Amino acid sequence: MTKENLSIFHFAIIFILILEIRIQLSEESEVLVDRSKTGLTHVPKDLSLETTILDLSQNSISELQTSDILSLSKLRVFIISHNRIQYLDVSVFKFNQELEYLDLSHNKLEKISCHPMLNLKHLDLSFNAFDALPICQEFGSMFQLEFLGLSATQLQKSSVLPIAHLHIGKVLLVLGDSYGEREDPESLQDLNTQSLHIVYPPGKEFHFMLDVSVSTAVNLELSNIRCVLDANGCHHFQNVLLKLQKNSKLSNLTLNNIETTWNSFITTLQFVWHTSIEYFSISSVKLQGQLDFRDFDYSDTSLKALSLHQVVSEVFSFPQSYIYKIFSNMNIQYLTVSATHMVHMVCPSQISPFLYLDFSNNALTDMVFKNCANLANLNTLSLQMNQLKELVNVIHMTKEMQSLQQLDVSQNTLRYDENEGSCTWTGSLLSLNLSSNILTDSVFRCLPPRIKVLDLHNNRIRSIPKDVAHLEALQELNVASNSLAHLPGCGSFSSLSILTIDYNSISNPSADFFQSCQKIRSLKAGNNPFQCTCELRDFIQSLGQVSSDVVESWPDSYECEYPESYKGTLLKDFRVSELSCNTALLIVTIGVTGLALALTMTGLCVYFDLPWYLRMLCQWTQTRRRARNVPLEELQRTLQFHAFISYSGHDSAWVKNELLPNVEKEGIKICLHERNFVPGKSIMENIINCIEKSYKSIFVLSPNFVQSEWCHYELYFAHHNLFHEGSDNLILILLDSIPQYSIPSSYHKLKALMAQRTYLEWPKEKSKHGLFWANLRASINIKLMEKAEEISYTQI
Ligand SMILES: *[C@@H]1O[C@H](CO)[C@@H](O)[C@H](O)[C@H]1NC(C)=O
Ligand SMILES: *[C@@H]1O[C@H](CO)[C@@H](O)[C@H](O)[C@H]1NC(C)=O
């Protein structure tokens, strides 16, 4: 490790230590106990005294007593919503001085008795069974209060007074089912809150007169507005809205869960157009009834943004194009119409101020905004989750949008056919979301030239073509969840800094990725079927060389898929030896080992003369086998000697001093023609006599013998055919090596025998002599009949 690396290493360790200490500290300061949904009927007694956050929501607790929570002196957050508490004495919390957050919503509270709770920031008493507003005098001292949730069936101006002087961030007021019988419209006048959310009783026709225009409110949210019976629109509701005009501070209005008619819906829009409201959002709308044509008055508005989410129209024949026209000509900057089943939208009739259009989750087709030049200011367009089919049509649709920088056409069924139409995107486009479509490799031939952010995840891309136009501005590319088999280099994307390519089919990512992609800050390549073989080592190594926060989800998402034996192993833990990977090294190692082995074998052979031993053993076993096959008795009857020995006079010393003592000592009888000489017969006759009475004939071969003696026997052998093919009466002992050339060419038999190596070689080393003699004895040893022996001796 270099000095530099070392200091970076130290720095990293210190950093990790600091991080750990910080985590410990923050863990120490928060002790969360979650006993929600556990069927509790009482506050459990076994709670840690250190508890700071206690969640007992969604149980069946019906009572709360001082003793239950007395000891939890550090309790800061207490959630006991969705239980069955009917009565609460706030003084049960008098020992929980730290309590800041108390959620008692969705109980059955009818009554509370109060106690000052100075530190409380969040108090939720909404969705309970209170009749009157549960605001006691003591609430007046809760100066920290940021959120107050209330519920009531009757409102009285006087009940708000105790908190009139507070500046509450948000008040949620849930009106009970029987609200509205005796209403005081002015009840909320003294409420001092920035945000007010009123939940009307659900399912009830709106005939409320409560004035919701609290003078301090900037945000107003109204839930559960149902007015379907009033043929003239929503008279009561419109009166409520009318009063909002008094409050010039109001900037955000949200309506949730509305059931009304098309006419009163448009009237509501029209009404809001002329208030101080800047952000108007409506969600969960059910519309019915007819729509009368009226001109929409766009003048004199503060509105910047309108959002419609989840609109269901229960009528099927209504003038759609009229509605599209109302929306497309709105003089606002931000328009969202999502989850509405809208099938079309028309081009604004003049240059539109729209900067942002979100038409996601509808039923729009490729025909939307065809040849539309009036969206010249549009910066962001989302057509996510519609029914777009041809990329070429999308290009055509956006061609005239000169300011368009962000386009989201994800989650459609877009495809791109290279042969259809031109591919000229609007030059302004910087971010394009084409994810979750059915695009293939060809899409790379049709991308906006200045694009910086490109999302192509979840398509059908198999490879990124090499010859694509250079996208030099591209910084962020997401091609996750495709079928890519290779990790692309940055040849065509010289600015790429974020690449997301997880969930593909990459098994062998190339190791030079980081070399090619110098600007990469984030690579997410996990969940690919990595093939853990030698090639992958280089890639893993290259991952190790970049900063750890560059590789996202490392190491957990990077697992071996193949081979089977490594399946599930994290890449981080994958090890394979240098030897099995480096072919050159492997070859060298095998070569060296083989060479060493060969040398050892040669050495052994030279040292121990292994081939000699092998031959000896082989001959021994052959002798044994043959001995078993010979019909012994017949032989035994005629034989007097175990062997006849013939040798050259030059070798007689060896025969007398070595051979005879060693062979005869075991009772083996040898016929020597000079020793067992029968007088009156020629030498040759004596020799032949000897041969015929012996079980075997031994010839001691040496150059001398070959030169001087062999000729005698050649003739004899030829004549008697005694030594015919396969006969094993003959034993040749090679006393000295005989060079082939020294054998006269007429000695065919000898040559053949030498060539077959059917001789016993006299070993020069003394250590081998024992085996030699044993072998020789074994080959001539046979049990001779004593009688025959005697006879022969008498003959002698
Ligand atoms: C009003 O709503 C918009 C959009 O949701 C939000 O950005 C803005 O902060 C809200 N204004 C206030 C005063 O809360
Ligand atoms: C593209 O749209 C998908 C949803 O369809 C979203 O999850 C993704 O974050 C978007 N990509 C970008 C770069 O905004």
pLDDT in tens, 79-91: 999 999 999 998 9
Q: 7-26 pLDDT, tens per residue? A: 555 555 555 544 444 444 45
Tell which one of 431, 455, 481 to mutate to probe ligand 2, the residue whose CB is within 8 A of the most ligand atoms: 455
**Position 388 confidence tier, pLDDT thresholds 50, 70, 90:** very high
In the 3-class helix/strand/coil scheme, how is 398-429 assigned residue by residue?
A: HCCCCCCCEEECCCCCCECCCCCCCCCCCCCC
What percent of the chain has a predicted confidence (pLDDT) above 90? Answer: 42
**Position 6 confidence tier, pLDDT thresholds 50, 70, 90:** very low
Q: Does the beta carbon of 218 lie inside 6 Å of ligand 1?
A: yes
Instruction: Find the helix or strand (DSSP H, E) in which 531 lies.
Output: strand 530-531
Ligand that lies nearest to the alpha carbon of residue 278, given by its number in the listed order? 1
The residue-averaged pLDDT of 510-531 equals 90
DSSP alpha helices (H): ranges in 468-545? Answer: 513-516, 534-545
**Using CB atoms within 10 A of its CB, is residue 531 exposed (0-12), middle (13-18) or buried (19+)?**
middle
Closest CA to ligand 2's atom 4: 410
Predicted confidence (pLDDT) at residue 242 exceeds the cutoff of 50: yes
Q: 721-780 pLDDT, tens per residue? A: 555 444 567 788 888 877 777 777 777 777 777 776 667 888 888 888 888 888 888 877
Give domain limits for the chain: 1-158+166-177, 200-318, 611-780
Ligand that lies nearest to the alpha carbon of residue 309, given by its number in the listed order? 1
CATH architecture type of domain 1-158+166-177: Alpha-Beta Horseshoe (3.80)
The residue-averaged pLDDT of 559-569 equals 88
C-alpha 393 – ligand 2 centre gap (Å):
21
Q: Does the beta carbon of 336 lie inside 6 Å of ligand 1?
A: no
The residue-averaged pLDDT of 225-251 equals 83
Q: Does the beta carbon of 481 lie inside 6 Å of ligand 2?
A: no
Residue 563: cis peptide before it, omega within 30 degrees of 0: yes
Q: Does the beta carbon of 251 lie inside 6 Å of ligand 1?
A: yes
Predicted confidence (pLDDT) at residue 464 exceeds the cutoff of 70: yes
Q: What is residue 273's predicted lDDT score, i.e. its pLDDT?
A: 92
Q: 670-679 pLDDT, tens per residue? A: 887 777 777 7
d(CA 464, CA 506): 13
Tell which one of 252, 332, 355, 356 to mutate to probe ligand 1, the residue whose CB is within 8 A of the most ligand atoms: 252
Contact 355, 334 (CB under 8 A): yes
Residue 348: cis peptide before it, omega within 30 degrees of 0: no
Residue given tokens 């863990």 in the structure block? 27
Quick one: which atom of ligand 1 is closest to the CA of 278? 1
Of 219, 178, 213, 215, nearest to 196 by C-alpha is 219
Q: What is residue 734's predicted lDDT score, i.e. its pLDDT?
A: 83
Closest CA to ligand 1's atom 1: 252
Structure tokens at 118: 């100075």
Predicted confidence (pLDDT) at residue 426 exceeds the cutoff of 80: yes
C-alpha 195 – ligand 1 centre gap (Å):
11
Q: What is residue 594's predicted lDDT score, i.e. its pLDDT?
A: 83
d(CA 277, CA 258): 19
Tell which one of 193, 249, 279 to mutate to probe ligand 1, the residue whose CB is within 8 A of the most ligand atoms: 279
Closest CA to ligand 1's atom 3: 279
**Position 414 confidence tier, pLDDT thresholds 50, 70, 90:** very high
Q: Does the beta carbon of 279 lie inside 6 Å of ligand 1?
A: yes
Q: What is the mean pLDDT of the chain?
A: 84
Predicted confidence (pLDDT) at residue 456 exceeds the cutoff of 80: yes
d(CA 215, CA 249): 7
Structure tokens at 426: 């609007």
What percent of the chain has a predicted confidence (pLDDT) above 70? Answer: 88
Predicted confidence (pLDDT) at residue 50 exceeds the cutoff of 80: yes
Q: What is residue 715's predicted lDDT score, i.e. its pLDDT?
A: 57
Cα distances from 226 to residues 37, 244, 316, 538, 724, in angstroms, run 33, 19, 20, 67, 127
Contact 453, 497 (CB under 8 A): no
C-alpha 404 – ligand 1 centre gap (Å):
24
**Position 333 confidence tier, pLDDT thresholds 50, 70, 90:** very high
Q: What predicted TM-score, i.e. pTM, was given to this entire model?
A: 0.71
C-alpha 678 – ligand 2 centre gap (Å):
121
Residue 184: CB atoms within 10 Å:
16
Q: Which amino acid is at 409?
A: V
Question: In the CATH hierarchy, which fold is given to the domain comprising 611-780?
Answer: Rossmann fold (3.40.50)
Q: 109-120 pLDDT, tens per residue? A: 999 998 888 899
Q: Which of the two residues, 724 and 193, has the higher pLDDT score?
A: 193
Q: Which of the two residues, 504 and 591, has the higher pLDDT score?
A: 504
**Position 101 confidence tier, pLDDT thresholds 50, 70, 90:** very high
Q: What is residue 637's predicted lDDT score, i.e. its pLDDT?
A: 67
Q: 606-628 pLDDT, tens per residue? A: 776 766 667 767 766 776 666 55
C-alpha 481 – ligand 2 centre gap (Å):
13
d(CA 655, CA 673): 13
Q: What is residue 770's predicted lDDT score, i.e. its pLDDT?
A: 82
Q: Phi and psi of 618, rounded to 5°?
A: -60, -45
Q: Does the beta carbon of 778 lie inside 6 Å of ligand 1?
A: no
Q: What is residue 789's predicted lDDT score, i.e. its pLDDT?
A: 41
Q: What is residue 484's predicted lDDT score, i.e. its pLDDT?
A: 94
Predicted confidence (pLDDT) at residue 316 exceeds the cutoff of 50: yes
Closest CA to ligand 1's atom 9: 252
